[in-house]
Amino acid sequence: MKRYLYAFLLVFCFAFIPSAAQEDVEDKVEGLMSRMSLDDKIGQLHQIDGRTDLTKVCEMIRRGQVSSIMNIVDASVIDSLQRIAVEESPSGIPILFARDIVHGFKTILPIPLGQAASFDDALIRSAARNTALEATEIGIKWAFAPMMDIARDPRWGRIAEGFGEDPYLASRLAVSVVKGYQGDSLSDELSMAACAKHFVAYGAAEGGRDYNTTYVPVRSLYDTYFPPFKACVEAGVASFMSSFNDNDGVPATGNSWLLSEVLRNEWGFTGMVVSDWGSVGGLIPHGVAKDKKEAAKICLEAGCDMDMMSYSYLNHLKELLAEGSVSMEVLDEAVRRVLRLKVKLGLIEKPYTRKTSESVIYSDELLQTACRLAEESSVLLKNEGILPLDEKIKTVLVTGPMADAAYDQMGTWALDGDKAHTITPVEAIRGNLPPDVKLIYANSLDYPRDKSSDGFKALKKAARKADVLIAFVGEEQMMSGEAHSLSNLHLQGQQSEMLEALASTGKPLVTVFMAGRPLVIASEMELSDAVLYMWHPGTMGGQAAYNLLWGKANPSGKLPVTFPRNEGQIPVYYNHKHTSHIAKGTEGNLDKVPREMPQSVMGHTSSYLDVSPTPLLPFGFGLSYTTFELSNLRVETPEVRASDSLVFYVDVKNTGEREGCELVQAYVGRKSASTTRPMKELKAYERVSLKAGESRTVRLEIPAESLAFCRKDLSWGTEPGNYILTVGTSSEGGMMLYFELNN
Ligand code: GLC
């Protein structure tokens, strides 16, 4: 017994002794701190935009007033500014060069919402690593990504930048990006610091209107909006970005409960927090600070370490310290967090851009990975036997404003993407069609908002010569992203009318969407024989489109976000609460409402008179060119201890004629709990690739601790009781069984 006790004590002691590496970092940080003046320290908390008069930037650097510079992407300029910081600034501390690198740097990947549809953690991590290789090659060492705001409102333009509506999926994929960017070590020259943003609940903006106020109560923060951020802290994310919004009356950038109590005291985050653009000064329009001096005090004391572009810290911290309004300890702690990141990145020893013998930018390997991710991100929503196109197709009409939209195909936040490198659908089809297949490319709409129907007559004439019609529709990249919310989610311009014109010819119609959000597409789906949703698929989207349409690749994407039937349904999402009047799903036929009926509550359910309460397309939905069958769901044991995991098995068979990949999804729900709980929540998923006719038994685990939630008394933990496990290939349907969770 004594032996075990000694072993325990030894492990216990070591657990609290900082590793040599940690000690080395702290020694370096303290060494830097000891040589810094107050002005030097304040300068380390200031981030500026490099898209300005560089003469002024050099002067600020020489005065030690610049810690980080955003948006310079020329290696020679980066190195020249760095040399001034190292050789001419008072402290000689290098600058941290940063950029919004959200889904690729030069090789643009599908938008994150599209990547989420792949449910492919490994591929996303690999693609993110490639992005780090490209960005660090020109000297960027800090990327403002991954964005992991849970979004349940497609009116919100920034739904494009995150991983959709589910906390579990967003957690896994945000961690994949963090690991891709940061690699095994931040000091690796190929690594760059990631940034978990926007903390927090920015996606809950009222009305889906960007920057709008949010009201997310504590329980929902913990259950829905916190999980991806907490997962990234556990994965070692180097930095956080506070969000613009106020939640329940407190702007995130000045919220000490959020930035100190939760992030640091509860979660143990030791990295650095940067504000969003000007969001320190944003406390003034929010109405909680009378001036930038007050805003600086509130935000620094709340735990926001670096001030992005508001100049509040630079211009007011010295005065606040002199008058004793802010303590030196608070300032020093913020400076240490900034210096710790620079030391961990190896900037002190290696401040300049790494030398590479051969550039990786746009390398074949990176382009192929981007193509595969674009394929896996695409979701087949409908297929009435027309796809994949085969050798019987001898003449193809390609049309639509997104058929050759090299710039828009890259999507929002593709700052460094070069449209000259984009492979568009028409280019890929033209370049890959067999010689005996004729391509007719006839475009009647120059861009998605084009209101002209002049070309429809000629388009229909051309369509009548083809065996199949492929229309690429959607939205320009500027229609989603920051400050780009929409109240109307239907196709803009004359796109729907164009599809009607095409459908009127009676030819098979394949509609491919390229968009930054779920659009309202019920009528377009009706008109089409097949529908493929590619989101904004990035540089290689055209090649991916060809590969999918002609069956070189089999669609495997699943929806990471619910598609509404119309805007009036929003918010509509799968992990909704039961309510006391659970909808049947059959409601919503306005014509069935009797005339002059006596006062009645109709179906007495949570539904609408004029539209079904169910979505057009549910979370987790997606088709394949083959079919799969799940059977024989069984658990290792129907009783699980809170310290264990639920282990279960399901047999998956490819019952179709070709190889494909199915996503096995496991959801957990509860019959009762101390609070109202979602009908079901995604708790495990696995991609299963099978040849035609092949079967496999899949083993999945759900740790009991992943069933923890913010309980009625606001404590975090699990509750014993009866749980429902549903396993299927979408958030709707599937096989069910019950299990008990014991304490
Ligand atoms: C923007 C965005 C944020 C971005 C930052 C720097 O306003 O909200 O996501 O990282 O400013 O460009």
Structure tokens at 328: 């030196």
Q: Whose CA is nearest to atom 8 of ligand 1?
A: 276
Q: Which atom of ligand 1 is nearest to the CA of 241?
A: 10
Nearest to 243 by CA among 286, 299, 296, 200: 200
CB-CB contact of 191 with 182 (8 Å) = yes
- Across the strands, what pairs with 666? 684, 727
Complete DSSP assignment for 265-283 = IIT---SEEE--TTTTTTH
Q: What share of the chain is helix, strand, coil (3-state, %, to 5)?
A: 35, 20, 45
Q: Which of 49, 144, 202 to mutate to test the pocket of ligand 1 (most atoms within 8 A of CB)?
A: 144
User: Which pairing describes strands 735-742 and 639-641: parallel, antiparallel, or unpaired?
Assistant: parallel
**304, 259 contact by CB (below 8 A):** yes
Q: Of all helices (H) and strands (E), which one includes residue 391?
A: none
Which 8-state DSSP code applies to residue 90? Answer: S
The residue with tokens 């899949």 is: 698
Give 465 Cα–ligand 1 centroid separation in angstroms. 48
674-713 residues labelled b (16+ CB within 10 A) or e (exposed): eeebbbbbbbbbebbebeeeeeeebebebbbebbbbbbee
Please report the pLDDT score of residue 13 as a whole number: 47
How far is residue 367's CA from residue 436's CA, in Å, rounded to a whole number? Answer: 28
**Helices marked H in 118-216 — which ranges?**
121-137, 167-182
pLDDT in tens, 454-468: 999 999 999 999 999
Q: How many CB atoms lie within 10 A of CB 23?
A: 11
For residue 484 and ligand 1, the question of a CB distance below 6 A is answered with no
Strands 438-441 and 660-670: unpaired
- Indicate the burial class of 10 (C-beta count within 10 angstroms; 0-12, 13-18, 19 or more): exposed
β-pairing, 250-251 with 246-247? antiparallel
pLDDT of residue 23: 81
Other CB atoms within a 10 A radius of the CB of residue 76 amount to: 10
Q: Which of 192, 274, 277 to mutate to test the pocket of ligand 1 (most atoms within 8 A of CB)?
A: 277
Return the pLDDT at 14.
47
Strands annotated E in 695-734:
695-703, 709-710, 716-717, 721-728
Structure tokens, 232 = 């990234």
- The angle, 0 to 180 degrees and rounded to 10, between the axes of the packed helices 541-549 and 425-432 is 50
Cα–Cα distances in angstroms (integers) from residue 224 to residues 29, 55, 168, 227, 641, in the given order: 36, 46, 9, 6, 24
- Ligand 1 pocket check for 482: Cβ under 6 Å: yes
199 lines ligand 1 (CB under 6 A): no
- Ligand 1 contact, 277 CB (< 6 A): yes
Residue 622's H or E segment, with its range, is none
118-139 pLDDT, tens digit per residue, is 999 999 999 999 999 999 999 9
Cα 406 to Cα 510: distance, rounded to the nearest angstrom: 20
Measure CA of the first residue to CA of the last residue in the chain; give whole Å: 27
Q: Is the CB of 49 under 6 A from ligand 1?
A: no
Is the overall model pTM greater than 0.95, yes or no?
Answer: yes
Q: Would you list the DSSP string of 527-590?
A: H-SEEEE--S--TTHHHHHHHHHTTSS------SSPBPSSGGG-S--SS-B--SS---S----G
Question: What are the structure tokens assigned to 452, written together?
Answer: 């002209």
Task: Of 296, 265, 294, 269, give the one whose Cα is nearest residue 280.
Answer: 296
* 81 CA distance to ligand 1 middle (Å): 23
Cα–Cα distances in Å, from 433 out to 389, 390, 398, 440, 549? 11, 11, 12, 12, 11
Q: Which residues in the chain come in under a pLDDT of 70?
A: 1-18
pLDDT of residue 601: 72
Give the torsion sign (CA, 114, 117, 118, 122): positive
Q: Under DSSP, is residue 652 helix (H, G, I), strand (E, B) or coil?
A: strand
Question: Which atom, in ligand 1's list, is nearest to the CA of 100?
Answer: 10
- The pLDDT value recorded for residue 598 is 86
User: What is the CA(145)–ligand 1 centre distance, in A?
Assistant: 10
Look at residue 262 and give its three-state secondary structure: helix
Is beta strand 96-99 parallel, antiparallel or unpaired with respect to 68-70?
parallel
E-strand ranges in 248-387 read: 250-251, 272-274, 307-308, 379-383
Q: Write out the catalytic residue numbers.
A: 276
Instruction: Give the separation between CA 459 and CA 462, rounded to whole angstroms.
Output: 5
User: H/E element holding 662?
Assistant: strand 660-670
Instruction: Give residue 276 CA to ligand 1 midpoint distance, Å.
Output: 6
Burial (CB count <10 Å: 0-12, 13-18, 19+), residue 55: exposed
Dist. CA 667 → ligand 1 center (Å): 34
Q: Is 418 exposed, middle or buried (0-12, 13-18, 19+ CB in 10 A)?
A: middle
Q: Which of 49, 52, 100 to mutate to test the pocket of ligand 1 (most atoms within 8 A of CB)?
A: 100
**Spatial distance between the Cα atoms of 457 and 686, rounded to a whole number of angstroms:** 48
| Residues counted in the chain | 743
Distance CA 27, CA 239 (A): 21
Q: Is 100 in the pocket of ligand 1 (CB under 6 A)?
A: yes
CA of 211 to the centre of ligand 1 (A): 12
Residue 403's pLDDT is 98
Residue 604's region, left for phi above 0, alpha for psi from -120 to 50, else beta, is left
For the Cβ of 197 lying below 6 angstroms from any atom of ligand 1, the answer is yes
Q: Is 643 left (phi over 0), alpha (psi -120 to 50) or beta?
A: alpha
Distance CA 548, CA 533 (A): 11
Q: What is the pLDDT of residue 6?
A: 54
Give how far the C-alpha of residue 163 lies from the chain's centroid of Cα atoms, to the nearest Å. Answer: 3
535: left (phi over 0), alpha (psi -120 to 50) or beta: left
Cα separations (Å) of 370 from 367, 538, 540, 663?
A: 5, 8, 6, 20
Q: CB within 8 A of 411, min separation 6: which ones? A: 103, 108, 110, 111, 114, 160, 477, 480, 481, 516, 535, 536, 537, 538
Quickly tell me which residue has 């909680």 as its tokens.
288
